Amino acid sequence: MAHSLDILAPVSGNVIELSSVSDPVFSQKMMGDGFGIKPTNGEIHAPVSGTVTLIAKTKHAIGITTDDGAEILVHLGIDTVSLDGLPFDLKIKIHDEVTAGQLIGNMNLKLIQAADKDTTVMVIITNTDDYLKSITVKTGETVGGQIAATATSKAYAENTDPTESDNYQQLAAAIIKNVGGSENIDSVIHCITRLRFYLKNDRLPDDNAIRKLDGIINIARASGQYQVVIGSKVTEIYNAVLEKLGPSFNNTPTATLDDKNKKTIFEKIKDSFNTFIGVLTGSMIPIIGLLGGSGIMKGILGALTGYGILDKASGTYLLFSSIADSLYYFLPIILGFTAAKKLGSNPITIAVVGSVLTYPSLIAASDNSIQLTVLRIPTHIMSYSSSVFPIILAAWVGSYLEKWLKKIIPSLIRSIFLPIIEVIILSLLIYVGVGPIVLSLSQFLSHGIESIYFVNPALTGFLVSGLYQVAVVFGLHWAIIPIVVNDLAISGHSYLNAMISVTMVAQGAAAMAVALKTRDKKYRDLSWAATISAFCGVTEPAIYGITLRYKRIFFLSNIGSAIGGLLTGIFKVDAYALSGSLIGFPAFINPSLGVTSNLLGYVVAHITTLVITFVMVMIWGYQAEDNANPIVS
């Protein structure tokens, strides 16, 4: 069920669609969506409850912000700014709290008409892009203070299937209750499979009660978070939790100045690192699947061209190669959008900044090593196509820049000028300022990993693969994934991704062994689902539903991972796209050379990992009677 806001008619008269208003600024919705009223009475009523945030000097415009974040503009007449406030008598001032329907002033219709001005009153939601999902306008005659339109908020829009929605609501309510109630929740985020709560008191949750809920795989505590492992329905449950918490819930971690001062330097660094991990998680999760799919396609194309089945000059290759490469090439645009949503800046604006970073003429200048002067500052234009960190930096700076610009740009012109000013500043920041530094650091990071790898590939693989799924448990793997993406973007390949890939197979093999040994139907079904998920590259269901539930299984699966990592190092297995596990084998086909010994190394390392892990868990890892007394990590 979506959250809705009733907007009352500020004056009596004839309600019309905004497109029928005679001023194109309003009719073309440049200021935002809403409606108009041709007034028959001069009494002005507050259309919503909230805080008065704007009163124009000439009194022709009133701004009210609601508790749930809607920014409502009441514009009294068209071109009435030239009347210097004479027709308007307002009974409110900025910062006043008003109630929907409250009489807040009068407008002299005869005086406006005598000045040959249009008396139409416009009611606009000026933050339409951020707030509004849809609006329904009740056209026709109305009385001031009656409902003229109903707006639906984006923030609380949700799956409308009644059966699923009810189930989500019930589960969300039970989760909130058992983590200590809404008053114990500081904030909540989610990743691919888990709700991640930041709690005020982490001793209050009832772990056993949450585990017993239908639809919950397991719980975990890591990175200062109380994590509820759900699986593929996590987004729906997350939305239901937000709706249960209500529009007044401020979903950002809070800390008083005293709390911050009491923290040690180590705790502050840890908090900053957790915040950084959270940003990376929220930015990368929406595109991980698509990056993996693109990688598989690149591998298949490499195999087809390598065997001479497909000609690189053909239209078929050109089209499918474009599909496979486009996400990587335009990564700053897509990542800018997702990072902005996570950081609270405008996703469209940051995506436009990403498009500036991938603009063909600038990329051509970078390819030709052209030295340009920007605002009299000598600037060496660099190509940011496929880059990761510069656009995340832009999204982070943008989250603060937007707030500052909103304070200095009047709301009447904000929707037009704020975005383009922000794009200009952020583009200059990257191209002229810190962008080259960040990109150079990214390249250094990529080459640094490769250098460490070649000191002892086998030992590096053994350690990285053996510890990677431990990092997943603590949520630290999201600091590694962007390194892999960056490595692929800079070098076109990633040895690190090959090391990660075998760990997915190990988790799947362990879950498969449990599926074959358990006598509990529910646990067997869960184990098979976790097996398929891990072999497709997502290990959280296997970890939290199966392997971590029994410490020795998790331990044995990590031994299997370490052995697989050792083999990837010995054979120098390389990955050419962000994909892995069994389903991701095409990512190990060299796009330039086709099928080579690299794919053979992939097969040996992954199949060996699967067999060794499976056998170890079958012999030592799990007994059927373990279901009665699970050892929860």
Q: What is the pLDDT of residue 510?
A: 94
When pLDDT is averaged across residues 268-278 and rounded to a whole number, the result is: 65
Asked if 632 contacts 549 with a C-beta cutoff of 8 angstroms, the reply is yes
Asked if 424 contacts 374 with a C-beta cutoff of 8 angstroms, the reply is no
Residues recorded for the chain: 633
Contacts of 7 (CB under 8 A, 6+ apart): 34, 35, 47, 48, 72, 123, 147, 148, 149, 150, 151
Q: What is the pLDDT of residue 627?
A: 47
Amino acid at site 153:
S
**623: pLDDT confidence band, cut at 50, 70 and 90?**
low
Task: Give the range among 15-19, 521-525, 582-586 with minimum mean pLDDT.
Answer: 521-525
Task: Give the range among 383-392, 398-407, 436-445 with minimum mean pLDDT.
Answer: 436-445
Q: Please determine, for residue 160, whether its predicted confidence score (pLDDT) is greater than 60.
A: no
Q: How far apart are CA 512 and CA 97, in angstroms?
A: 61
pTM over 0.85? The answer is no
Query: Which has the closest alpha carbon to 460: 448, 444, 442, 443?
Result: 448
Q: How far apart are CA 566 and CA 503, in angstroms?
A: 11
What tokens appear for 241 in the block? 């939790």
Q: How far apart are CA 398 and CA 414, in angstroms?
A: 15
Q: How far apart are CA 437 and CA 387, in angstroms?
A: 13
Known catalytic residue at 477: no
Asked if 19 contacts 84 with a C-beta cutoff of 8 angstroms, the reply is no
- Mean pLDDT across the chain: 82
Cβ-based burial of 22 (10 A; exposed 0-12, middle 13-18, buried ≥19): exposed
Asked if 148 contacts 16 with a C-beta cutoff of 8 angstroms, the reply is no
When pLDDT is averaged across residues 456-475 and rounded to a whole number, the result is: 83
Amino acid at site 512:
M
Q: Please determine, for residue 260, whether its predicted confidence score (pLDDT) is greater than 60.
A: no
**289: pLDDT confidence band, cut at 50, 70 and 90?**
low
Convert the pLDDT of each residue in 11-62 to its tens digit. Answer: 999 999 998 998 877 888 877 899 999 999 999 999 999 999 889 888 999 9
Q: What is the pLDDT of residue 106?
A: 94
**476: pLDDT confidence band, cut at 50, 70 and 90?**
low
Q: Give me the phi and psi of 89, to 5 degrees please.
A: -130, 100
Amino acid at site 92:
I
What tokens appear for 347 in the block? 């996703």
Q: What is the pLDDT of residue 257?
A: 40
What tokens appear for 279 in the block? 């940003």
When pLDDT is averaged across residues 400-419 and rounded to a whole number, the result is: 88
Q: What is the pLDDT of residue 300?
A: 77
The distance from CA 76 to its chain's CA centroid, rounded to whole angstroms, is: 39
Query: Which has the closest alpha carbon to 540: 560, 525, 554?
Result: 554
Q: Please determine, for residue 256, whether its predicted confidence score (pLDDT) is greater than 70.
A: no
**368: pLDDT confidence band, cut at 50, 70 and 90?**
low
**630: pLDDT confidence band, cut at 50, 70 and 90?**
very low
Q: Please determine, for residue 161, whether its predicted confidence score (pLDDT) is greater than 50.
A: no
When pLDDT is averaged across residues 97-110 and rounded to a whole number, the result is: 93
When pLDDT is averaged across residues 473-483 and rounded to a whole number, the result is: 65
Convert the pLDDT of each residue in 527-581 to its tens digit. Answer: 888 888 788 777 767 886 788 777 789 899 999 999 999 999 999 999 988 778 8
What tokens appear for 150 in the block? 């109903």
Q: What is the DSSP letter of 139?
A: -
Q: Please determine, for residue 490, whether its predicted confidence score (pLDDT) is greater than 70.
A: yes
Secondary structure (DSSP) of 329-380: HTHHHHHHHHHHHHHTS-HHHHHHHHHHHT-HHHHHHHHTT-EEEETTEEEE
Q: How far apart are CA 111 and CA 445, in angstroms?
A: 69
In the chain, where are the structural domains located?
Answer: 4-156, 162-254, 269-435, 453-628
Contacts of 292 (CB under 8 A, 6+ apart): 537, 577, 578, 579, 580, 584, 587
CA atoms within 13 A on the CB side of 134: 5
Asked if 176 contacts 245 with a C-beta cutoff of 8 angstroms, the reply is yes
Convert the pLDDT of each residue in 305-328 to its tens digit. Answer: 766 788 888 999 899 989 888 887
CATH assignment, 4-156 = 2.70.70.10
Is the CATH code 3.40.50.720 the one for domain 162-254? no
Q: How far apart are CA 121 and CA 37, in angstroms?
A: 5
Catalytic residue among 3, 60, 75, 477: 75
pLDDT above 70 as % of the chain: 82
**616: pLDDT confidence band, cut at 50, 70 and 90?**
very high
